[in-house]
Amino acid sequence: MSTSTISQLSRLISKSVAELEKLCLESQTSVPDLDAFGFDRSSEAFRLTPGAAEAIKVAAAACMQLTAVLLPPTDTLYKLALGEHNSFAMRTCLEANITEILREAGPDGLHINNIATKCGLDPSKLGRIMRYLAIHHVYRELKPYIFTNNRISGTLDTGKALKDIFSHPESKYDSTGFPALMSHHMDLDHKCSAIAWDVLSDPVLGHSNEITDTIFSRGLKTNTTFWKFFEHPNNLFRHRRFGYAMKAFDWEKLAKNSLVVDVGGGIGVTIMPLAQKYPNLNIVVQDLPIVVEEGLKFWSHEFPDALSSGRVRVEAQDFFDVQPIKNASVFFLKHILHNWPKSYMAKILRRLRDAAALDTTLIVIDNVLPYACRRSADADNSSVVGATYYKEAPEPLLPNYGAVSHSPYTLDISMMFYFNAQEHTVLGLTGLLESTGWRLVNFHSVDPKNDFLQSIEAVPL
């Protein structure tokens, strides 16, 4: 790479940081201190200022690309190759309740011997693990062998008291969101990654698109599907944790008493805010019987009036079977399609198309991933409103902001592990919908911090 490219990246960093500081000053917010004790959700307010998300992405992407330019290529590859060390260290601290231990100890920190006593691990080994994370800015070593939480490690906090975690370990991740998601990935994905190459290079398994011939099934030594695996009594904790980990459309235009069907809606976490905000809508949450049981408990506790009035129903339904509801205004699929190989995605969509009325709207919430190259004017389906659904990063950055956008691309690999499935591209999604009787009409950004998570609107062909 030339010196001029380095200068370009440096200027992008300086310009974006200056813009961010200006926006923070105007909005009376601030970029929080990395060394702050624990994570305070209110400290994220600066990200909500219009223009801040873009400045953050450009600055961070330029920093990461500049690092790739300046470090020896072997350093970049070595860090990627040893990612399992990061996962091991993170999982150790997460499952050993280190963040909660340090939260209860306070900002002055705790000696590694005391930390180890509380969680039952060897202090020498734990100390090395925590120091390894500290060089990546997860936890802080205040003095030799004395550690404390920082803003990043604080996101692993379940918020529960240690005494409650120790007395009821099975409910540690209930209602926790991000910690549950981290535990899920570092448990299952780690086992999958260890066996992934063996499966991909197998002349049979490597080319299979069946949901029982996956990297997951080999890594977890099971001949069942990902979902059936969770139904086994030995895996109820994993199932419970996964349910809590999975926690743009103009709803105002729907007529009174319109019916919204949340297909494969889990326990109903996603759709509940809709039920609360729009009392004139009727909602059906559909999922498998084992999930419905949890869903009924969830609604009974969180929003009992919606159940008792009949405005919200939680029903058992396999989305591969004939859809019994024929008068839906909206079929809603959040993070469903990407869990299945293409042929299975198509079957789900066809079942819904067969049940759809002429005025039914299909809403799919999923990631739509750009390529790692700049698109030409006709690369996307220009007939779709919003087909240019994300803003390309300025030169010389990668158009998708590079490693700053790693999360949805990492999820794409997880989908390969679990299901022989994948995230979507615009062209792939358009073709899938058209082949099953749907026409893509619009995109709506769901998350201002993630341009790739989209609410995809389609109507019957």
Residues forming the active site: 338
49 CB-side CA count, 13 A? 21
Q: Which residues touch 162 (CB under 8 Å, ≥6 apart)? A: 97, 100, 101, 104, 118
Distances (CA, A) of 246 to 16, 294, 375: 33, 14, 32
Token pair 């404390």 is found at 148
Entry field: residues in the chain:
461
Q: How far apart are CA 422 and CA 411, in angstroms?
A: 8
Token pair 């895996």 is found at 235
The beta-carbon contacts of 373-381 under 8 Å, at least 24 apart in sequence, are 373/399, 374/399, 375/399, 379/427, 380/426, 380/427, 381/426, 381/427, 381/430, 381/440
Q: How far apart are CA 94 and CA 99, in angstroms?
A: 7
CA 112 to chain centre: 32
Q: Which residues touch 383 (CB under 8 Å, ≥6 apart)? A: none
- 129, 116 Cβ separation under 8 angstroms: no
Using DSSP bridges, classify how beta strands 312-316 and 330-334 pair: parallel, antiparallel or unpaired. unpaired
* Helices (runs of H) and strands (runs of E) counted in the chain: 19, 10
